[in-house]
Amino acid sequence: MERITSIAGPDGEAILLRYRRWKNHPTPGVDFPDLSPLATDATATRHVIDALGRQLSGEIAVVAGIDVGGLGMAGALAYRNGLGLLDIRKVGAIRVEVIRSIMANYELGDGVAISRAHRIAERRVAVVDDCLMSGKTALAAVGLLRRLGACCDTALFVFEIDGMPGRALLEEAGIAVHSLKRLPQADPDEMTGGETGASPAS
């Protein structure tokens, strides 16, 4: 079911965002926020990318999008801020026969993969994803980037789910977390639209 929430624009105006929530996904009692309605709204997408882009320091050289929700946003951020771009794949999302043919060209770490072709040693990299929940995938991505010599201490998200351990997990690893909007773990079944979530987080 489609929802509407808002984030604060650069001048304090409310920017409306449309999204959907998948009930009891990925675990019972948690509704995953799907950004598909936002992605086809050019104006709202631009506002989201601008809001994320303002969180990137001038020291960031590369943005790394996490499969799958962070990939498109990372590309837009790279273009907006004039940065390099890389993709981080979730190994579990790649078919076995594909893994067998490409893994020789990838570095692996705790369920994520990065192409060996990326030149990230001694460069500052920020990871980007659509939603912060458990934080495990983002932490795995940061760990692999660091193992390959990158300096990675920034993570950007559109949504952050309240009451889940993602922020604490990342901050304990020395990662500054920026999210545009906090949402409750689940929405009431009878809700059909309107403002949801708490105030924007940064």
Residue 61 sits at the vertex; the CA angle it makes with 181 and 129, to the nearest 5 degrees, is 30
User: Token pair for residue 60?
Assistant: 């960031």
Pairing label, strands 112-115, 106-109? antiparallel
Query: By C-alpha distance, which of 27, 43, 25, 31 is closest to 2?
Result: 31
pTM above 0.85, yes or no: yes
C-alpha 117/C-alpha 33 separation (Å) is: 32
Higher pLDDT, residue 145 or 39: 145
Lowest mean pLDDT among 44-58, 134-148, 158-172, 176-190: 176-190
Q: Mean pLDDT highest for which of 111-125, 143-157, 178-192?
A: 143-157
Q: Which amino acid is at 151?
A: C
Query: By C-alpha distance, which of 125, 38, 143 is closest to 74?
Result: 125
C-alpha 112/C-alpha 139 separation (Å) is: 10
Q: Which amino acid is at 102?
A: I
Question: Which domains are delineated in the chain?
Answer: 48-183 (3.40.50.2020)
pLDDT tens readout for residues 129-141? 999 999 999 999 9
pLDDT tens readout for residues 18-57? 999 999 999 999 999 999 999 899 999 999 999 999 999 9
